[in-house]
Structure 1
Amino acid sequence: MTPLSRDRALEDFTGLVLLPEVNQSPDPQAVYDRLRKQWGEIAPVQLEPGIPAWLVMGYREIIQVARNDRLFSRSAANWRYFDTLQNPESTLAALMTPRDHAYYANGDEHRRLRAPLDDGLDALDEHRISRETQAICRELIATFADHGEADLVAEYAVLVPMLSVARWFGIGTDEGYRLTEAVLWAFSAGPQSQKGVEIIIEILTNLMQSHKDDPADDMTTSFLRHDDLRNDIEVAFSIILVIMAGYQATIAWIAQTLRLILTDPRFGSRLRGGRLGLDDALDEVLWRQSPAANMVGGYALADTEIAGQRIRKGDAVFLCYAAANTDPRVHSDDPWLAIGNRAHLSFGTGPHVCPAQRPSRIIARIGVETVLTRLHDLKLAVPADEITNLHSLWAVSPESLPVRFSGSA
């Protein structure tokens, strides 16, 4: 392991890996293993060229950071590279620019802004989510069912989570498609990013006004009526948080699970009476190929240490759930031991743990199951080793998933 001098700052290290390239790698776990051997459980990396950060890979170390919001602020206003987020070409701005919602808050402010999310999600009717998600999945499949081939990422996985979650807020299908396109733009770099943000704001402004005029049994009305949201800006950003926080991760969860089932005989055989089923595949993806690979853990408010390495005030600390879930200190290499075990960190931990674990699992499970039950003789249209991952800082996910099938139900 390379010793880190206590007198060296992040900026002093050279030759650091780019985190999006790790996620794009055919085998991200192999990269994590190399980083562990070189640096230990926390490694210096680059978010973009010239923008360094710490990557925490240890299971216990992630818990240490995630549960200490007094030392690690979620607001990038405390980051030494905050000005980077003003660059329209930066890919970091979409998820790191501070907004008026719970993701970027700490302490009492976080608890105030988190309460409407918890209350709104707890009130969701899971049977209704299931019915609506099934209908969405069937409608999407119907658009390519007669073609005998499809890209299950671009034509399906990218759309299912957004159209499903949009229904929670009373957003219909047409606006759901428009919102999906706007979110994709918002996550990109360049002028399209700002255009995407503007369209999202337009959709949500009209949505809130319509619900003020005509309240409904959905999360928009719940947020508008909630005492802990003080104005329309907080309501709008709370809606954005729910829509966007798990968007890429749920896309990746669906796509990764479909890839696993189509390439791993242990799961493919289940369709022909094998031992492992859909829930096992969903769980294995969370353990072995965590869809939410990386998340901001915070920005150090003071000098500190993690796993013996010095973190300086203003350093960004990223939590690598994908690495922590395979931390050899807490998890075996035997994939069978993951079956039924849900102690992974793919939904995070601490005060900012994902509040939508149950509904997101419903969406992912139905998204995968509907494909498997409605498309006959489903198989990859290209060799498995030709499936490449997205170039993304946040998620590990197939860039495309071309398939062929003989017909549909």
Structure 2
Amino acid sequence: MTIPPSGCPAHTAPGRVVPLSEITASASLPDTYDRLREVWGPVARAELEPGVNAWLVTGHQEVLKLVRDEHIFSRDARNWKDWQNGVVRPDSGLGPMMFYRDNVIGADGPEHRRLRRPLDDALACVDQRQMRRAVERTCRERIAAFRHHGQADLVSEYSQSVALLALAEMSGLNPQEGQELLAALAKLFGSAEDAQEGNRRFESILERLIHARQAAPKEDLASFLVRHDDLRSDAEVLQSLVVLISAGQQTLSAWISRTLWLMLTDARFESRLRGGRLGVDEALDDVLWRDPPMTHMPARYALIDTELGGQQIARGDALILGLAAANSDPRIHPEGVEREIGNRSHLGWSAGQHRCPGETPARLIARTAVEQALHGLPGITLTGPVSTAPSPWMRHLASLPVQFTPPGSPTA
């Protein structure tokens, strides 16, 4: 990355356009974003795939403008000029995350509000106590599968399964279908060559669920959505489930595993295991500030030629929400990046009309999963390095190896 010479405005700076996946995988996100701001200002160019670029919005106030002004920045990907002009291939790995979907994520204005109501209504009807009991049961079952070994990978053996099985049970899927869904989602979020295959498999599983609930409704989210008056077709029911599960599973798993990693490695939280004052809720918030599950959120598309953060944005340009970048914007942290305990003004849930609707159930699931792991695995410690799964959008931990005292041990 080239730093502009002294006196050269950031928005005219030359330099290599950095791949978004390289930014996401950087060892220190704040340092990487600082270097981008030095070159570009609060709105930087980034490469989505070879030959396809977009704007990465790293400034806090710029992200807020982006998400709040739907008359200038649309969520409808049919406005993306690189898609219109064939620069992006129909089989591109970017498709499942960035191509238009006829659902709440791809809509603006009154249509968005119509499609949003079923999601808000469905999540509002979730029985919090019943859900907590169900998540606790799932956590205990997952822990029981490996606790006698004295070691485990808390990503593959715990956080992924807990997040998915919790959402699957809420939605109406059985455990086997949930595991099939997990494999499909991993491909979808990877935005690699098999992303569209994963997307097709993902939707096929949910189509079967919808048909089953039309024939025999139950007390689950799928049945609720099938009956909702604002959803006018099977396709709209399907896409509502796609949003609920795809947006929830990967982000929940990432949030759980990142919080566990933080509590096992950060002295402020590690002491909680020995009676310190900072606990799980504080760790959950810290992750949403420093390493939110969605590092980069796709996307908005400019409806007119405009300006943002000193950059000239052309009609049809794609803009990526740098949620982690906005959280570390030095303009909102003049005294440094340390946040006071209990501050929840981060953009971990995004903002504006498309702010995530699942904050309450997601926090309940994540808190329960972290608490159950810490309480159910005595003497838990990290045993090796962690790595992240490749993705332009997320810094999902690929593994979290731990050891602990198994039942029956003299020190148990």
Find the counterpart in structure 2 of residue 162 from structure 1. 164
Find the aligned partners of 2:378 and 2:88 in 1 and give their Cα distance.
Answer: 46
Q: Deviations over 1:332-384 (max 9, x none)?
A: 556764311101111010000000000011111111111100111111111xx
Residue 398 (structure 1) shift = 2.1
> What count of residue pairs does the alignment treat as equivalent?
401
**In structure 2, do the counterparts of structure 1 residues 284 and 296 end up closer, same or farther at CA, with 3 Å as the change threshold?**
same
SS of the equivalent of 2:394 reads coil
Residue 60 (1) aligns with residue 61 (2):
yes
Instruction: Give the corresponding residue for 2:117.
Output: 115
Q: Cα deviations across residues 304-352 of structure 1 (Å, max 9, x unaligned)?
A: 0012211011111011110111112213556764311101111010000
| 1:389 counterpart = 2:391 | no
Between the aligned partners of 1:166 and 1:38, the Cα distance in structure 2 is 44
1:347 aligned counterpart, secondary structure: coil
Structure 1 window deviating more from structure 2 (265-274 vs 68-77): it is: 68-77
Matched, 1:247 2:249: yes
CA distance in 2, matches of 1:136, 1:84: 45
Quote how far apart the aligned CAs of 1:286 are.
0.7
CA displacement 1:110-129 (0-9 Å, x = unmatched): 11111111111111111111
Offset, 1:104 = 0.7
C-alpha contact 2:60 2:327 (8 A) present in aligned 1: yes
Deviation string 1:70-96 (CA, Å, 9 cap, x unpaired) is: 1112122211221465453x3311211
What percentage of residue pairs aligned between the two structures are identical?
Answer: 43
Cα deviation digits, residues 218-275 of structure 1 (max 9, x gap): 2112111111111001101110111001332212111111111111111111110112
AA at the equivalent of 2:377: L
Q: For residues 75-154 of structure 1, what are the structure 2 equivalents within 5 Å?
A: 75-82=76-83, 83=86, 86-88=89-91, 90-154=92-156
Partner of 1:365: 367
Q: How does 1:283-322 map to 2 (within 5 A)?
A: 283-322=285-324
Q: Pick from 263, 272, 275: which aligns with 2:274?
A: 272
Q: Report if the CA contact (8 A) 2:95-2:196 is conserved.
A: no
Looking at structure 2, the residues matched to 13 and 293 of structure 1 have their Cα atoms a distance apart, in angstroms, of 25
Q: Is the 8 A contact 2:191 2:391 kept in 1?
A: no
Q: Secondary structure at the match of 1:165?
A: helix
Q: Is the 8 A contact 1:85 1:96 kept in 2?
A: no
Looking at structure 1, the residues matched to 337 and 14 of structure 2 have their Cα atoms a distance apart, in angstroms, of 36
Cross-structure match for 2:230: 228
Q: In structure 2, what is the Cα distance between the partners aligned to 1:77 and 1:198? A: 20
Q: Is 1:298–1:316's contact at 8 Å kept on the other side of the alignment?
A: yes
Amino acid paired to 1:396: R
TM-score, normalization: structure 1? Answer: 0.92
- C-alpha distance in 1 between matches for 2:69 and 2:33: 24
1:401 maps to 400
- Going from structure 1 to structure 2, the CA distance change for 1:148 and 1:87 (only over 3 Å counts) comes to farther
Distance 1:191 1:22, change over 3 A: closer
Counterparts of 1:266 and 1:350 in 2: how far apart (Å)? 32
- What whole-Å deviation, never above 9, does each CA across 1:16-68 have from its counterpart, x for those lacking one? 11111111111111100111122111111111222111111111111101001
- Cα distance in 2 for residues equivalent to 1:235 and 1:286: 30
TM-score by length of 2: 0.92
Gaps of 5+ in 2: none
The amino acid across from 1:44 in the alignment is: R
Structure 1 vs Structure 2 CA RMSD: 2.1
Does the C-alpha gap of structure 1 residues 21 and 250 become closer, same or farther in structure 2, counting only changes over 3 Å? Answer: same
Is the contact made by 1:284 and 1:338 (CA closer than 8 Å) also made in structure 2?
Answer: no
Match of 2:207 in 1: 205
Amino acid at match of 2:208: N
Contact 1:376 1:406 in 2 (8 A): yes
Structure 1 residues 177-229: Cα deviation after superposition (integer angstroms, max 9, x where no partner) = 12112222333456643443333233222211221122112211211111111
Assess, with a 3 A threshold, how the Cα gap between structure 1 residues 238 and 13 changes in structure 2: closer, same or farther: farther
SS in 2 for 1:81: helix
Kept in 2, the 8 Å contact 1:134–1:370? The answer is yes
After superposition, the Cα gap between the structure-2 partners of 1:190 and 1:44, relative to the gap in structure 1 and judged at 3 Å, is: closer
Distance 1:190 1:54, change over 3 A: closer
Q: Distance in 2 between matches of 1:213 and 1:330?
A: 53
- Secondary structure of the 2:147 match is coil
Partner of 2:149, secondary structure, is coil
Q: Distance in 2 between matches of 1:220 and 1:84?
A: 37
Alignment gaps of 5+ in structure 1: none
Q: Which moved more, 1:352-361 or 1:186-195?
A: 186-195
Aligned match of 1:331 in 325, 330, 333? 333
1:179 maps to which residue? 181
Q: Structure 1 residues 84, 136: CA separation in 2 closer, same or farther (over 3 Å shift)?
A: farther
Specify whether residues 192 and 397 from structure 1 end up closer, same or farther in structure 2 by C-alpha distance, changes over 3 A only. closer
Q: Structure 1 residues 34, 239: closer, same or farther in 2, change over 3 A?
A: same
